[in-house]
Homo-oligomer: A and B are copies of this chain.
């Protein structure tokens, strides 16, 4: 590796972003040439940037703008479309297995939990830039598990939740009753309850408490 690696960081928490930057200066092969505190402006900023980063470290739980969600997953999808040459390394606080697989499927090149040590950050960036991916054993296992589950015929376990179900889930987390949700979505209360039942099945929850927990863990709603 003779050339420096151009790194970009997309992370809303300023202190964490600065921390990553400070850590990366430990190795002089990294140049942090791009930064963003939100996902919305990244595509636009990249289009105007004099130099494109080789790799973007993207926080999974990016904040919404007003009512519009824009998580690391949204950004991943957009980047894979507009800037496929830029590698994407996801940073996340959780180690939610399903989410790992979802991200890799949608164009991310690697996944790091924020609990890892600096050495692993180094390895991950170098591995993604040189080999194209960085999959540690935990992520690999998660993907394999998910694959094997998909193969089983069974009922309808572990499927991603649908758009309509996500609507219901979000409103449920906002403390609306089924009746209120029905009004907002212009559907019958019975239908809302149907969606809720599917959500309980898919998320393995017993009641709304479980749904709220799931929604937070999976970045469907923010705190």
Using A175-B207, A212-B212 as known contacts, say yes or no to A15 and B118 having CB atoms under 8 A apart.
Answer: yes
Hey, which chain B residues are within 8 Å of A201, CB to CB?
A: none
Closest residue of B by beta carbon distance from A207:
B175
Closest residue of B by beta carbon distance from A204:
B175
Name the one of B23, B173, B205, B223 contacting A19, with C-beta atoms under 8 angstroms.
B23
Beta-carbon contacts of A109-134 to B below 8 Å, as 1s and 0s? 00000111110010000000000000
Copies of this chain, count: 2
Q: Does A146 contact B (CB under 8 A)?
A: no
Using A216-B223, A223-B94 as known contacts, say yes or no to A115 and B175 having CB atoms under 8 A apart.
Answer: no
Assign chain A's interface to a size class.
Answer: 35 or more
Residues of chain A from 12 to 29 with CB closer than 8 A to chain B in the complex:
12-16, 18-20, 22-23, 25-26
Query: Shortest distance in angstroms between A63's beta carbon and chain B's nearest beta carbon?
Result: 10
Hey, which chain B residues are within 8 Å of A14, CB to CB?
A: 115-117
Query: Shortest distance in angstroms between A85's beta carbon and chain B's nearest beta carbon?
Result: 27
Q: Does A177 contact B (CB under 8 A)?
A: yes
Contact of B175 with A114 in the complex, beta carbons under 8 Å: no
Beta-carbon contacts of A1-41 to B below 8 Å, as 1s and 0s? 00000000000111110111011011000000000000000
